[in-house]
Amino acid sequence: MDKIRIEGPCRLRGRVRISGAKNAVLPEMAAALLVEGPVTLTNVPAVRDVETMAKVLRHLGLRDVALEGSLLRIGAGEPGEPEAPYALVKTMRASILVLGPLLARLGRARVSLPGGCAIGARPVDLHIEALRRMGATITIEHGYVVGSCRRLRGAEISFDKKTVTGTENLMMAACLAEGRTALENCALEPEIADLARFLNACGARVEGAGTGRIEVHGVPRLAGAEHRVIPDRIEAGTFVMAALATRSGITVEACEPAHLVAVVDKLKECGADLRVERDAIEVRPDGPLRAANVVTVPYPAFPTDLQAQYMALMTRAEGVSIITESVFENRLMHVGELRRMGARIVVDGQAAIVAGPSPLSGAPVMASDLRASACLIVAGLAAQGETTIDRAYHIDRGYERVERKFQELGARIERVRG
Ligand code: EPZ
C-alpha cells in the first residue's frame, strides 16, 4: 500500500496545470451507454476512478474503452449484460450513474447498491424513487438495484434534496424516455451543465442544466460525439489552499475560476491575495491569514469537497474558525489526523472549531477518503518535519499525478511504494 512522504515546511513556486474534472467525466462516461456511435472525451484526468468506470463499461459490453493520455475513446455498440457487479461498484459509488442509462437504453439494469462509504451512508433512494416515477419497476434484491421497464416515460419529478448524481442519473434517463421530463430542485454543480452539453452534442434535448429546473424532451436515439471535459474545480481549490498554507506564490492554470467564486471570496475574506484571470488563479505570498467561518452547502456555495483542505489551511490562520459540514454526516474524520500533527481543533456535532495559528509538526497519518488525503498533503507541506500519509490510494482516485505536480512546484514530496 503506497504512502506519500513529505518533508516540510515547503515553499512552492511556479505554475501548475489543472486536470479535467473527475466528477464531470464519470457521468459522461456513463452517458456513453445511451449513444449508438463512438464517443471521444478529451481533457480526461488519469485517475483511478476513471479506470474503474472504464472497467464497468467494459463489463457492461461496451467495446474499445481506451484511455490514451487525456483522451478517452469509447467504441460504439449496444451494452450486453446490464449488470454492474458489487466487486466494481464497492470501489466507486459513482457506478450508480449507469442505472439511468441502462434503463433508458436497454429497459433493464442490475446495479449493485453502492453501500456506504467513509463520509456517510450515501443512500440512492432519490435516484430510485425518481426512476420509478418514470415507469421503471425497481426492487432491491441481495444488495442489488434491479430495474426493468418497457420504455421510460417522461414525468414531473421534484427531488426532496439536491443530489448531484441523482440529477445526472435522471437527466440521462430522460434523454431516451417517451415525452417530456421536468426535474425540479436539481443540483446546480457545473459538472451537471457539462454533462448536458455532452448529451446535447449527442442529439439530446436538455434545457436548463445548471439551474434548479431541467427539462428534457425524449428522443428515439443518440449518436456519439466528441467533448472536452471541464477543469476540476476541487483540484484547483486544493492547489490554491496549499499555496496559502505554505505562504507561497504560484499560478494555478487551465482552471475555471468561475466555478470557484464562493471559494475565492472566502479566501479573500481571510486576507488572501488572489489575482483571478479567465483561466487561471495567481496566488501571491502575503502576510498572515485571518480565520473565517465556513458552512459547506450545495453549489454555488462553499463545496463540501474543499472542506477538509480548508480546515488544514485554517490551522495556519490567526484566530478561531468554525467549519460546519452540512452535506455529509461523517466528513470530519481528518480532524483526528490533523490533531496528531499539532492542530488545535475540537468537534461539536457537525462543526469543527479550529484555533489558529497552531504550529504543525510532521507525523505518520492515515488517509480516510479522497479529500481527507488532500487535506493531509496540505498540512504536511506546511508542517515542520516528515509526514507520511498511509493509504495513498485514496488520493489517486481523484488527483492525477499528485506528488509529481507538487514536486514540480518545488515540494519535497515523494511516493513510497508499499
Ligand atoms: C457528488 O456525490 C460527488 N461525487 C461528491 O464528490 C460530492 O461530495 C457530492 O456530489 C456533493 O457535492 C460525484 O459527482 C461522483 P449527493 P453524490 O447525491 O452525488 C443525500 C468527491 O470527493 N442523498 O449530491 O453522491 C446524500 O446522502 C465526491 O469527489 C440522499 O439522501 O452526492 C448527501 O447527504 C465525494 N439520497 C446529499 O444528499 C439520495 O438518493 C448530497 O449527496 C442521494 C443523495
Mean pLDDT of the chain: 96
pLDDT over threshold 90, residue 273: yes
341-350 tens-digit pLDDT: 999 999 999 9
Which grid cell is 295? Answer: 458552512
Specify which residues 387 forms β-bridges with. Answer: 6
- Identify the pLDDT of residue 287: 82
Q: Write down the catalytic residue from 117, 149, 186, 270.
A: 117
- Identify the pLDDT of residue 295: 98
- Identify the pLDDT of residue 376: 98
117 is known as an active-site residue: yes
CB count, 10 Å around CB of 220?
A: 7
Nearest residue CA, atom 4 of ligand 1?
Answer: 23
pLDDT over threshold 80, residue 87: yes
pLDDT over threshold 70, residue 120: yes
**What is the rounded distance in angstroms from the CA atom of residue 31 to the CA atom of residue 98?**
8
- Identify the pLDDT of residue 77: 73
Please name the residues in contact with 89: beta carbons below 8 A apart, sequence gap of 6 or more.
56, 95, 96, 111, 112, 113, 114, 115
pLDDT over threshold 80, residue 76: no
pLDDT category at 364 given cuts 50, 70, 90 is very high
Whether 315 is in the pocket of ligand 1, judged by its Cβ within 6 Å, is no
pLDDT category at 79 given cuts 50, 70, 90 is confident
Whether 126 is in the pocket of ligand 1, judged by its Cβ within 6 Å, is yes
- Identify the pLDDT of residue 252: 98
pLDDT over threshold 90, residue 121: no
Class of domain 3-19+231-416: alpha beta
Report DSSP state, residue 34.
G
Nearest-atom number in ligand 1 for the CA of 23 is 14
- Identify the pLDDT of residue 418: 81
Nearest residue CA, atom 26 of ligand 1?
Answer: 122
CATH number of 22-228: 3.65.10.10
Sequence length of the chain is 418
Same fold flag, 3-19+231-416 and 22-228: yes
pLDDT category at 88 given cuts 50, 70, 90 is confident
Cis bond before residue 298 (omega within 30° of 0): no
Question: Which helix (H) or strand (E) covers residue 140, if one does?
Answer: strand 137-141
CB count, 10 Å around CB of 247?
A: 18
Whether 188 is in the pocket of ligand 1, judged by its Cβ within 6 Å, is no
CB count, 10 Å around CB of 349?
A: 8
28, 126, 131, 161, best to mutate for ligand 1 pocket (most atoms within 8 Å of CB): 161
d(CA 93, ligand 1 centre) in Å: 9
CB count, 10 Å around CB of 186?
A: 25
pTM of the model: 0.98
d(CA 352, ligand 1 centre) in Å: 21
Domain range list for the chain: 3-19+231-416, 22-228
* Rounded (10°) CA dihedral 335, 273, 13, 257: 80
d(CA 164, ligand 1 centre) in Å: 6
- Identify the pLDDT of residue 89: 86
Buried b (16+ CB within 10 A) or exposed e, 5-24: bbbbbbebeeebbbbbbbbb
Report DSSP state, residue 307.
H
pLDDT over threshold 80, residue 81: no
- Identify the pLDDT of residue 116: 67
pLDDT over threshold 80, residue 99: yes
Mean pLDDT of 166-191: 98
pLDDT over threshold 90, residue 321: yes
Nearest residue CA, atom 39 of ligand 1?
Answer: 124
Question: Which helix (H) or strand (E) covers residue 23, if one does?
Answer: helix 22-31
pLDDT over threshold 80, residue 340: yes
- Identify the pLDDT of residue 114: 83
- Identify the pLDDT of residue 276: 98
Sign of the CA dihedral with 293 first, then 380, 345, and 393 last = positive
First to last CA, the chain: 4
Whether 21 is in the pocket of ligand 1, judged by its Cβ within 6 Å, is no
Mean pLDDT of 213-232: 98
Mean pLDDT of 43-63: 95
Query: Is residue 83 left, alpha or beta, with left meaning phi > 0 and alpha meaning psi from -120 to 50?
Result: beta
**What is the rounded distance in angstroms from the CA atom of residue 258 to the CA atom of residue 263?**
10
- Identify the pLDDT of residue 119: 84
Whether 305 is in the pocket of ligand 1, judged by its Cβ within 6 Å, is yes
Query: Is residue 295 left, alpha or beta, with left meaning phi > 0 and alpha meaning psi from -120 to 50?
Result: beta
d(CA 226, ligand 1 centre) in Å: 27
Cis bond before residue 231 (omega within 30° of 0): no
**How do 273-276 and 39-42 pair as beta strands?**
unpaired
In 371-417, the DSSP E strands lie at: 385-390, 413-416
